C-alpha cells in the first residue's frame, strides 16, 4: 500500500496529467458491514465512468478505471479494510490509501486531485507511530487515539536482520537465542559470539532507524514510540538520529500483546504529550489574541490566510462548513451542504494556509478554543 505522508510531501500530486479521478468512501473492518464495501466501491466506479463519458471517449478513460476495477475484483483487498478508503487515478499515476478515519463518500473528476479529505488526516494532532523491535525483526504501526494498525512496509525496508546482513546473520541466530535466554541466573552466549551479535544488532538498528526517519518520521513529523525489550530499546535509543523518537517506551515486543492492548498502552504514553501540545497551541492562541494577532472569525481568517499572515491554524475535527473560498481575494461564500459541487470552507482554508507555509492542526471538538471551527495565529 502507498504511503500517504510520503506521497503528499513528495509533491507527486502537484501537477498531474488530466483527467484526475478522486474516490472516497467509508469502509468497515469486520463483517457483516464490510461485505457491502466492494458493492459500494463498484457503484462509485460507475459514477466516475458516467462523469468521464460526458467529456472523454471510452478509449481515453478506460485505462484510468482499470486499476480501480482490479481493486474491486480483488477478494484479498476487501479483507483488509480499515475505516476509510481513498483512491486517486490519473494518466501515469495510481494511488490508494486505507485510512484510519472514515471519510464522506464522494467521487470527483477534475483537472486536479481532490485532496482535502486527506489533509484532515495528515494534519491530525493525535497521530503517531509505534516501532516494534527485536534483534531480528522490525514492524511499524501507525495510530491515533482510536486505532492502531500495522503499516505495510515498502520493498527494501530493513524488516529483518538478515535483510541487512545477508547470510552472515544466520550464523549468529543461535547465539541470539542463547543470549536472550537464562537458566539459573546464568546468561549464555557471552564472549566473541556475543560481541558479534551486538555489532550485527547495532547495524540492523541503524538501518531501521534511517529507514523510519526518511520514509515516515520526517515526512509526517509524528512521534515515534518504540515497543521492545529494555536492552534493545537502550541500544536503539543510543544510536537513533530520529528527532521524533520518544524517551518513553513499551518494554515488551508487540508479539506479546494483542492489537488492542498495544493500542491502549501506546495511547497511555502518547496522550499526555498530545494534551500538552494542544494546551500549548491554545495558550498561544489566547496570548496572540491579547496582542491582536489571532482570530476565529472565518471571513477575517480567510482574508488573512490568502495574504499569507496565518502561521498556525487550528481546525475542528469532523466540522464541515460548506461554501466557496476565493483563492485570490479570500472572500468566502456559504452554500448548501447538500449541493454535490460545494467544497468545505475549512478544508479550502487549510489548503491555503499550507500552501503559504503555515501549519494546520486538526483538533478534537472538545479541545477547540473557539465556536467557529477555526482558530488562527498570525505571523504579524
Q: What is the pLDDT of residues 47-97, one digit of tens each?
A: 999 999 999 999 999 999 999 999 999 988 998 899 999 999 999 999 999
How far apart, in Å, are the Cα atoms of 337 and each of 197, 263, 344? Answer: 61, 35, 9
Q: Are 133 and 227 in contact (CB under 8 A)?
A: yes
Domain with CATH 3.30.960.10 in the chain: 4-122
- Is the torsion defined by CA of 222, 228, 230, 236 positive or negative? negative
- Kindly indicate the confidence band of residue 26, based on its pLDDT and cuts at 50, 70 and 90: very high
Q: Which CATH class is domain 128-164+198-274?
A: alpha beta
| Residues near 237 by beta carbon (within 8 Å), at least 6 away in sequence | 226, 245, 247, 249
Q: What is the pLDDT of residue 191?
A: 58
CATH value of 4-122 in 3.30.960.10, 3.90.1580.10, 3.55.40.10, 2.140.10.10: 3.30.960.10
Place of cell 541466573: 185
Q: What's the CATH superfamily of 291-378? A: Ribosomal protein L30/S12 (3.30.1330.30)
**Range 339-344 contact pairs with CB under 8 angstroms and sequence separation of 24 or more:** 343/116, 344/116, 344/320
Query: Mean per-residue pLDDT for 249-260?
Result: 90
pLDDT beyond 50 at 297? yes
C-alpha cell at 75: 477478494
Domain with CATH 3.30.420.60 in the chain: 128-164+198-274
What strand order describes the sheet that includes 343-344? 332-334, 322-325, 343-344
Mean pLDDT value across the chain: 89
DSSP 122-152: HTBTT-EEEEEE-SSBEEEEEE-SS-EEE--
Question: Torsions phi, psi of 8, nearest 5?
Answer: -65, -45
Q: What is the pLDDT of residue 170?
A: 54
Q: What is the pTM of this model?
A: 0.82
Q: What is the pLDDT of residue 349?
A: 92
Residue 349's SS3 state is: helix
DSSP 241-308: --TTEEEEEESS-GGGS-HHHHHHHHHHHHHHHHHHHHHHHHHHHHHHHHTT-EE--HHHHHHHHHTT
Region of 330 on the Ramachandran plot (φ > 0 left; ψ -120 to 50 alpha; else beta) = left
Query: Mean per-residue pLDDT for 17-31?
Result: 93
pLDDT beyond 70 at 267? yes
Domain with CATH 3.30.1330.30 in the chain: 291-378
Amino acid at each position: 500500500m502507498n504511503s500517504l505522508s510520503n506521497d503528499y510531501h513528495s509533491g507527486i500530486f502537484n501537477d498531474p496529467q488530466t483527467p484526475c479521478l478522486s474516490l472516497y468512501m467509508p469502509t468497515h473492518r469486520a463483517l457483516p458491514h464490510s461485505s457491502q464495501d466492494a458493492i459500494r466501491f463498484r457503484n462509485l466506479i460507475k459514477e466516475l465512468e458516467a462523469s468521464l463519458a460526458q467529456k472523454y471517449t471510452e478509449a481515453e478513460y478506460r485505462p484510468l478505471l482499470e486499476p480501480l476495477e482490479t481493486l474491486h475484483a480483488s477478494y484479498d483487498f476487501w479483507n483488509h479494510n480499515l475505516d476509510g478508503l481513498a483512491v486517486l487515478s490519473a494518466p501515469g499515476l495510481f494511488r490508494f490509501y486505507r485510512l484510519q478515519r472514515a471519510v464522506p463518500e464522494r467521487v470527483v473528476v477534475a483537472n486536479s486531485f481532490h485532496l482535502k479529505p486527506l489533509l484532515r488526516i495528515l494534519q491530525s494532532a493525535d497521530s503517531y507511530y509505534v516501532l516494534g523491535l527485536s534483534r531480528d525483526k522490525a514492524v511499524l504501526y501507525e495510530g491515533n487515539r482510536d486505532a492502531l494498525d500495522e503499516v505495510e512496509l515498502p520493498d527494501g525496508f530493513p524488516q529483518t536482520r538478515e535483510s541487512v546482513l545477508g547470510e552472515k546473520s544466520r550464523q549468529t541466530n543461535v547465539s541470539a537465542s542463547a543470549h536472550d535466554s537464562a537458566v539459573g541466573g546464568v546468561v549464555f552466549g557471552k564472549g566473541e559470539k556475543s560481541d558479534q551479535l551486538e555489532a550485527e544488532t547495532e547495524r540492523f538498528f541503524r538501518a531501521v532507524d534511517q529507514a523510519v526517519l526518511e520514509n515516515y518520521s520526517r515526512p509526517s513529523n509524528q512521534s515515534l514510540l518504540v515497543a521492545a525489550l529494555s536492552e534493545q530499546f537502550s541500544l536503539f535509543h543510543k544510536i537513533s538520529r530520529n528527532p521524533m523518537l520518544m524517551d518513553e517506551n513499551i518494554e515488551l515486543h508487540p508479539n506479546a500483546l494483542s492489537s488492542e492492548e498495544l493500542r491502549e498502552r501506546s495511547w497511555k504514553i502518547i496522550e499526555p504529550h498530545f494534551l500538552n501540545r494542544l494546551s500549548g497551541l491554545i495558550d498561544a492562541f489566547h496570548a496572540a489574541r491579547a496582542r491582536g494577532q489571532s482570530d476565529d472569525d472565518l471571513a477575517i481568517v480567510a482574508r488573512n490566510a490568502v495574504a499569507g499572515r496565518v502561521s498556525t491554524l487550528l481546525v475542528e475535527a469532523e466540522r464541515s462548513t460548506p461554501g466557496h473560498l476565493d483563492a485570490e481575494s479570500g472572500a468566502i461564500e456559504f452554500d448548501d451542504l447538500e449541493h454535490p459541487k460545494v467544497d468545505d470552507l475549512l478544508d479550502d482554508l487549510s489548503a491555503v494556509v499550507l500552501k503559504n507555509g503555515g501549519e494546520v492542526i486538526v483538533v478534537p471538538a472538545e479541545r477547540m478554543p473557539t465556536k467557529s471551527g477555526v482558530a488562527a495565529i498570525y505571523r504579524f
